[in-house]
Structure 1
Amino acid sequence: MEVLQNGFAKFATITKPIEVPLTNGNGTINHLNLITETEDLSNMDPSRAFVNKVKRLIVKVGTAVVTRSDGRLALGRLGALCEQLKDLNLQGYEVILVTSGAVGLGRQRLRYRKLANSSFSDLQKPQGDLDGKACAAVGQSSLMALYDTMFSQLDVTSSQLLVNDGFFRDSGFRKQLSDTITSLLESKVIPIFNENDAVSTRKAPYEHCLQDSSGIFWDNDSLAGLLALELKADLLVLLSDVEGLYSGPPSDPNSKLIHTYIKEKHQREVTFGDKSRLGRGGMTAKVNAAVCAAHAGIPVIITSGYATDNIIRVLQGEKIGTVFHRDAHLWKNIKEESAHEMAVAARNSSRRLQALKSEERRKILLAVADALEKNQNMIMLENQADVAVAVAAGYDKSLISRLTLKPEKISSLAKSVRVLADMEEPIGQILKRTELADELVLEKISCPLGVLLIIFESRPDALVQIAALAIRSGNGLLLKGGKEARRSNAVLHKVITSAIPDTVSGKLIGLVTSRDEIPDLLKLDDVIDLVVPRGSNKLVSQIKESTRIPVLGHADGICHVYVDKSANIEMAKQIVRDAKTDYPAACNAMETLLVHKDLCNGGLNELILELQREGVQIYGGPKASAVLNISEASSLHHEYSSLACTIEIVEDVFVAIDHINKHGSAHTECIVTEDSEVAETFLSQVDSAAVFHNASTRFCDGARFGLGAEVGISTSRIHARGPVGVEGLLTKKWILRGNGQVVDGDRGVSYTYKEQLIEA
């Protein structure tokens, strides 16, 4: 592997390990090495086999990809784009780039210049919008200078070609353009096209299909389509700010990603959302250009430009984005595995897993841990793409926090998998042995539940924990994560299943990619043995109402800390601060603080100040809001999942217990007190899955409980309760060993019922 001295990490070939640049959030490029054999994680889709014949490709990058949400250049994405194009150039591909962004960049520079030259009185006047053509003229030189700098540092030569819509009406121009591009490509130069907005004369939007090279383009999408025809490209890749074409607005949870566009099928079904947030186009313009180019025989793929390796993945034949192909309607439907087939495959694989020796199962987990560490950079790459899309979509900070995977988190996950591997073998443990009669011995032993369906939202780290628990407990597993973590979940699933030997099969763990499959899965009570939803109250309620399969989990995480009158206030401040601020989005974070009335004269104020120093927004219950003159909470049964909480004043421990049992979610509660009798009253009478004395609610976690990991936290009272680790994923079966005994109306057996010792 090699990192160039100029500051960019180096891509290797498509079929070998690669190194890629990542942005740290402020536009600065960090360098991460992707140490993986892509052959081991190959994902060539049969419908994308045409990419094997690609030599000349055109890549179009839009304004929303080139710039960040604040209008500044997205240097990390631009760096990754240049890296990929350079890598493809070295491999012999003829690469042509069509770029947007000049107007946005010019607008930013002109606004700064106008501000710098304005007096205070000027700034008080209404500010009109800047002229778009002037912005284009200023921004074009800056944009090309940036590309030139980036490509030069990568030892690649680029060239600029500015064109107008009218140029293509001239056959002489088209001939000269083709000759010039051929000459540049033969010299390994990357041509960069842009529409010359500064002097463009167009007045109407692009509405014409590119049936021949005399069509007029309206934006850079249609320009890219026109160039694909004119320059006889083998593939056109349109990079967008979303994953591809959806059946409706991408922000609509009911929208589905369309992997293959068939005009006859999708033209009337697709509902387009808003246009691009910055450029003139949007998905409508991309689809128009793609349909026309595909009709003329140029395959097109629309995919996300937020991911830093999507062009590479497209040329590897991965099923990403939306493909437009002239013959798509003739393709035989590639049969996708049905929900039932996936569940049956998981069950069959689990039985093969159970048949292995304990040490063999242990080695699988160790291989999973090694694979996570080996592929950390690739995992980070995919996760950053998910995070970028989530930020652009305006998701809550709490969801972004749960979605983000950092290196220390991946290391922690690998460590937790190794902890599971070193635990005592859970399968086949003799829990009880009874002699029923002479030479008739009954044993109760532990065994896997069978097949688990886990539906979770926005936490890709949960996928690793759940998969490791399933392997350790010998269960088959079906996983359905939230679409906001789609790429993260896909790469984690691929890494984990690659570590499972063929004797078991990677189908032990199935990844469900469409929410449309969930209703079918919830009907499979003959194959799936347990459903564990991890997410919102709404999600859990919907699952429970939609299936006959047993459901394990919790809807809310409304956790309380009660500070008694005898509490050590310094200890209470420390516990309250940790319970609320250590990880506010966690289900075991404190949401309500109950304080004994005797602390109103001093201790309560100290607790409030401690929370306010950490930026916690405080709301009051009926009593606290009146005493403290603060806003009253909308509900005493409310999960904030953020730096906010409710405070209420109570008469004594019994009122605190009543409050928790009435308004809580039976998750995790804590009492802070130096009175052991009060503590025992609280511990015995609070009806929650976990109840603590003088310890933060954040300790309610499978790993912290020594379970290695958790599939979730259950507030149910049947089967498993609290953090659910390996033990919660096991059931029992009875084994009877005899010597020819028969019942014969209970006349032939003399029952003894002697309990026998079980050897350690």
Structure 2
Amino acid sequence: MKTVDIMKQAKEVSQMLTLTTEQKNRALQEMANALRTNTDSILKANQKDVQQAKDTLSKVKLDRLILNEERIESMAKGIEEVIELEDPVNQILEEVNRNGLCIQKKSVPLGVIAIIYESRPNVTSDAASLAIKSGNVCILRTGKEAYNSAKAIVDALQEGLEKANIQKEVIQLIDDITRNSAYELMNGVGYIDLLIPRGGKGLISSCVENAKVPCIETGTGICTVYVDQDCDLDMALRIVKNAKTSRPSVCNAQETLLVHEKVAREFLPELKEYIPEVELRLDEKALEIIDGKKAVPQDYDTEFLDYILAVKVVKNIEEAIEHIQKHSTHHSESIITKNEENASLFTSLVDSAAVYVNASTRFTDGGEFGLGCEMGISTQKLHARGPMGLKELTTYKYVIYGNGNIR
């Protein structure tokens, strides 16, 4: 089916879609069940994608594409977690009685949500489950590397919808994996109510710069950890290791390390020994302390998504904050300190969606924040910021009750 026809169909479905909480939850359970019963066909499709992508994706990025029984079960459990969350639709957000009128501000679905994403098959089920629970219709457009996997997953999810007596067109996958379909979604005025890109800097920039429909800027994560003068260095080692190496291919992984000059001579040699798998790209001050590759200016503006860490020694917290303000993508930043005044200054002045004190940036995630799975991490300020869960997939309208009132 052509992309424009899918958009038209999705809009028509959304305009007549009225689901109770019970219907949504039944659909979600059937979708989770369908993932489990179709595990073999999903894995077969995924193996085809993996074989085709082996020569084009790095080892780290290839890991994001690979599915196994455990990961499919995790996807199913993620859907079941959404069942347990409160329905965000038809909530009375505010109510005022004025001029004989009862004025209610009520949460409602956005309508049609389109997601453009790359080689992460789990996004398919995450996005679909959140869309269902928030009462929206979902259009999915994956990258070519993950198309077969996404198709098998969507087939299973649609099977679950039909078992729950809900039309399968509530979730649809774009067949066209060329750039044309992406641009059609970006220009789907009148059909698309919100466009969410999930992927690398190129994809996100393209959507933000070219979309004529409302678009969320998500994901690009040049995340920084600052090791303060007053800190527990053992804690700092553990946090940096987790933030950089636990899963370097995701947007909440650390890409830059700032170290106060008064602890650098003790901390950096220990760090190099603690994370030998990581290539450290060092500024001139750091190179005076340990051996490594000399950093170039663009290293501090690069989302490596790999075992690479840009390191800079700073003279104080003010220089650290200034560096973050200049280079951050406003995703996640962390300070490691025992100094409450410095922690307060850092959290006040660092303008990112998630700002941590003595914790890894890897916690910036819908599941970790209690939102269930997520639609993405918004790095902008309107209308959503940080992990996007169910509430961020709704808008509101005013419903006014009168009794023959006139003005």
TM-score with structure 2 setting the length:
0.95
> What amino acid sits opposite 1:500 in the alignment?
L
Query: Could you tell me which residue of structure 1 aligns to residue 285 of structure 2?
Result: 623
How far has the Cα of 1:522 moved from its partner?
Answer: 2.2
Matches within 5 A, 1:252-651: 337-353=1-17, 355-391=18-54, 393-438=55-100, 440-501=101-162, 503-514=165-176, 515=178, 516-554=180-218, 556-612=220-276, 615-634=277-296, 635=298, 636-651=300-315
Query: Could you tell me which residue of structure 1 aligns to residue 352 of structure 2?
Result: 688
Query: Could you tell me which residue of structure 2 aligns to residue 659 of structure 1?
Result: 323
Distance 1:487 1:681 in 2: 48
Change in 2 beyond 3 A, CA 1:421/1:352 = farther
> What amino acid sits opposite 2:99 in the alignment?
A
Distance 2:63 2:283 in 1: 28
Distance 1:625 1:513 in 2: 50
- Gaps (5+ residues) in structure 1? 1-336, 744-760
> What amino acid sits opposite 1:374 in the alignment?
T
How far has the Cα of 1:350 moved from its partner?
Answer: 3.1
Answer yes or no: is the 8 Å Cα contact 1:387–1:400 preserved in 2: yes
Answer yes or no: is the 8 Å Cα contact 2:259–2:312 preserved in 1: yes
Answer yes or no: is the 8 Å Cα contact 1:365–1:417 preserved in 2: yes
Distance 2:215 2:60 in 1: 26
User: What does the per-residue CA deviation read over 1:597-647, in whole Å, with 9 as the maximum and x for residues that have no partner?
Assistant: 1112312322222122xx111101343234434322232111111111011
Query: Could you tell me which residue of structure 1 aligns to residue 385 of structure 2?
Result: 721
Distance 1:608 1:598 in 2: 17
Answer yes or no: is the 8 Å Cα contact 2:29–2:83 preserved in 1: yes
Query: Could you tell me which residue of structure 2 aligns to residue 224 of structure 1?
Result: none
User: What does the per-residue CA deviation read over 1:403-429, in whole Å, with 9 as the maximum and x for residues that have no partner?
Assistant: 011222111111111110111111100
Distance 1:522 1:660 in 2: 31
Distance 1:504 1:741 in 2: 39
> What amino acid sits opposite 1:482 in the alignment?
G
Answer yes or no: is the 8 Å Cα contact 1:553–1:712 preserved in 2: no
User: What does the per-residue CA deviation read over 1:247-274, in whole Å, with 9 as the maximum and x for residues that have no partner?
Assistant: xxxxxxxxxxxxxxxxxxxxxxxxxxxx
Change in 2 beyond 3 A, CA 1:431/1:625 = same
Matches within 5 A, 1:77-92: none
* Secondary structure in structure 2 of the residue aligned to 1:682: helix
User: What does the per-residue CA deviation read over 1:101-160, in whole Å, with 9 as the maximum and x for residues that have no partner?
Assistant: xxxxxxxxxxxxxxxxxxxxxxxxxxxxxxxxxxxxxxxxxxxxxxxxxxxxxxxxxxxx
> What amino acid sits opposite 1:721 in the alignment?
R
Matched-pair identity in %: 38
* Secondary structure in structure 2 of the residue aligned to 1:499: helix
Distance 1:702 1:360 in 2: 23
Distance 1:425 1:395 in 2: 38
Answer yes or no: is the 8 Å Cα contact 1:350–1:504 preserved in 2: no
How far has the Cα of 1:459 moved from its partner?
Answer: 0.5
Distance 1:740 1:363 in 2: 40
Distance 2:2 2:398 in 1: 34
TM-score with structure 1 setting the length:
0.52
- Gaps (5+ residues) in structure 2? none
How far has the Cα of 1:735 moved from its partner?
Answer: 0.5
Q: Which has the higher contact order (CA 8 A, sep 6+)?
A: 2
Distance 2:190 2:15 in 1: 16
| Bigger radius of gyration | 1
Answer yes or no: is the 8 Å Cα contact 1:558–1:664 preserved in 2: yes
Answer yes or no: is the 8 Å Cα contact 1:347–1:508 preserved in 2: no
Answer yes or no: is the 8 Å Cα contact 1:541–1:555 preserved in 2: no
> What amino acid sits opposite 1:427 in the alignment?
V
Q: How many residues align?
A: 402
Distance 2:266 2:356 in 1: 24
Answer yes or no: is the 8 Å Cα contact 1:346–1:478 preserved in 2: yes
Distance 1:619 1:675 in 2: 28
